[in-house]
Copies of this chain bind each other. A is one copy, B any other.
Amino acid sequence: MFKKPYELFFKTLANEQRLKIINLLRKCPKNVTQICKELNFNQTTVSHNLKKLKTCGFVFNKKNGKERIYSINKTTIKPLMELIDKHTDKFCRHLCC
């Protein structure tokens, strides 16, 4: 009935900058400017990437005056990353550098 958008999800996760944003937000919520500064990324790229992450439900945001606070969707991201970590340990030691 419903086609599941696996490809969109994985494409969205398959980007170094977005992965770094995800990793940063796992610690605590931050606004766009903070994300830019801490990762040394430019603002337009970060906004574009946050939009993609939001479309996929990997991050949420809320308004606070003129700033937007972005937070991670822990329900999905935590077990997802743990699963990948377990997979790497068990099947992909050869890929570690």
Contacts and interface: CB of A to CB of B under 8 A. Distances in A.
Taking chain A's interface residues, is the majority helix, strand, or loop, or is none over half, making it mixed?
helix
Contact of A10 (B3, B13, B55, B95): B13
Contact of A83 (B3, B10, B80, B97): B80
Most B CB contacts (10 A, CB to CB) among A14, A15, A75 go to: A14
Interface residues of A, number: 36
Nearest to A5: B95
A87 B6 contact: no
Given A83-B80, A87-B57, A92-B56, A15 B7 contact: yes
A2 B92 CA distance: 11
Interface of A: 2-11, 13-16, 19, 55-57, 73, 75-76, 79-81, 83-88, 90-92, 95-97
Contact of A5 (B13, B83, B88): B88
A57 B92 CA distance: 6
